[in-house]
Amino acid sequence: MATDPRYAPLFEPLRLGPVTAPNRFYQVPHCTGMGHALPRTLAAMRGMKAEGGWGVVCTEYCSIHPTSDDAPYPFAANWDDGDLANLAAMADAVHAHGALAGIELWHGGSYVANLASRVPAIGVRSMPGRTDPFQSQRMDRADIRRFRRWHRDAALRARAAGFDVVYVYPTHGYLVWEFLSRSLNDRGDEYGGSLENRARLFRELLEETRDAVGDRCAIATRFSANGHGDQHLGLDETRDLMAMLGELPDLWDLVLADYDEEMGSSRFVPEAALEDRIRDIRSLTRRPVVGVGRFTSPDTMLRQLRSGVLDFVGAARPSIADPFLPQKIRDGRVEDIRECIGCNICYAHNFRGVALRCTQNPTMGEEWRSGWHPERVPAGRGRVLVVGAGPAGLEAAHVLGKRGFEVALAEAGDAAGGRVTRESRLPGLAEWARVRDYRLGQLQRLPGVTLYLGNRLNAADVREFGADHVLIATGARWRRDGLGRWHARPIERLTGTVLTPDDVMDGVRPSGRVVVFDDDHYYMGPVLALLLARQGAEVCYVTTEGKAGDWSQYTAEQPRTQRELLEAGVEIVVNRALEGFDGRVARLGCVYSGRELECEAAAVVLVTSREPDDALFRELVGHEGEEDGSRITRVGDCRQPAIIAAAVYAGHKAARELGGELHRPPAARDRVIIAPGR
């Protein structure tokens, strides 16, 4: 199929030193939760990006030496020749589809504690690390020489593994950045003092990496376009450094120093948010530039090229949400793109030490383990009734329709989307509606799928329908009794105006002073507190944790969440649990001492936990539950209330496997196996 001429510039090749990228789609280095621990999983996932049309596909941060050990996070590793096979597997998977493979060589410096390798961390001076009670060892000249040798050796191994683009990484608080920092670098030798001296190590790595592999590999560097704050490397010095070193690498990968902004969630950061800052600095080099911006619109991507802001459209999250985004643009199927919603669930699971997953793309991380392809599903036949058109039901109907089943999708409400539709109306969550909109758009083009709105089915209706298979996806409702993480039993003495998130999303608007009790710790409590404050209520946000929206630290949202609440005038009370409410006074107990304080309130909103809405399922199968492979199956929140990504995954898995073997083999395990005799 011919490329839409409007988007032809996105598919023009571009030379990078000794190699040529086939197009302008560039998957920048991004974490995966796979790294050295799951090499087959990682290779298959990166290979899928190349198959989908990404012209350059890079690793995550790839440690060059045991002094750069970020355990328990599963980083990629390039410590010795034993890592070559794992690295080559990824490069080969990318090359199989005509793309370039990039590797981001990384040393964490003082940031890491080396919990697994148990060797001292090294840094420009002795400093505390990120979280653990360890400090780094101050590097002397011999340490610097050794580090330069480690980096060169890692670059040579990268070339041997087949990589085409090799990164030097002087940003985001890691070792080379420490040397650039005006505050951290207190050295009195040739590596400290002036900007030229502080940049000496960066220059040496660029030159030595080119000398080692530049005849075969392009040299890239990832660098902050807005400096690192005036105390470290201000914007003026950043511009001076770019002018000083601008022509040394073959590619500048321009980012921001602050992860929370560079890859901020859609709650706080819009598409193309980095554009002005990259434009400001890119004129200082004639080399190609790549940058990110959670690009989901082909027109926005095209604007980056035509305006000269970027030479490559960089992406991490959009390439996760839709590995085939470039191919769909090329084929004129823009309406088929699964747009990233910016929820950062991918990032969160890397920080939980497991393979990343995606709300929009349930096949992410399952390419090798389960053999799932994001664009292909096995054929099937039969008649299926799906009850509930929330995220699980919509995804199930979508996949079943693609497989060839005749599908009836019954929704009790007047609109599809379930919790996604309701939650997307809350502050900052509008882009989450893409979960619904993408699937509805796909269903409209599947002739075998019919959506019935305003159809609340009972057990007799389901039996009368006579489907070959029934998927119950009726969701869950927020509990009104306070049962949650802190309270294993309902809270006693709850009287007066006691509301749930469902009430607020249904339009109930309490006035006066409102206590929002958050024992859920993700986005719902803070978002509701913000909504009520903006509507004029005096809000006291109470949490059993020490920070507002504590779990959102994994999605890089917690600091902005807390700041947003404070700026909205919300009172934040931490380490307290709601122990009772009489309609006028809420009793708040300290989670450590049990001592209580009283808080006047006209209403309480309980954000604690959800009750599965599985009454229809129970009516159909009784309380014994279904057998494996049963004709009637529950999926999503009505089985296990969880994040939206889990509901979409559950709907996808049930639909993809429907009609298959009764006792399926378990998903493949990616692991290290000891060789015989070793």
- Which sequence positions are flagged as catalytic? 174
**Strand 19-21 with 14-16, pairing:** antiparallel
Secondary structure (3-state) at 63: strand
Q: Among all chains, which residue has been given the structure tokens 């998977």?
A: 93
Secondary structure (3-state) at 114: coil
Contact 154, 145 (CB under 8 A): no
201-210 core/surface letters (b: 16 or more CB in 10 A; e: else): bbbbbbebbb
SS (H, E, C) 179-216: HHCCCCCCCCCCCCCCHHHHCHHHHHHHHHHHHHHCCC
Contact 114, 70 (CB under 8 A): no
Cα–Cα dist 141/119, whole Å? 19
Cα–Cα dist 337/328, whole Å? 7
Token representation of residue 540: 């006291």
For residue 131, what are the CA distances in angstroms to 113, 405, 458, 590?
8, 51, 53, 26
Cα–Cα dist 411/223, whole Å? 49
Contact 481, 491 (CB under 8 A): yes
Secondary structure (3-state) at 169: coil
Sheet of strand 383-387, all strands in order from the earlier edge strand to the far edge: 449-452, 406-410, 383-387, 469-472, 632-634
Instruction: Return the ∠ at Cα 622 (arms to 621 and 625), rounded to 5°.
Output: 65
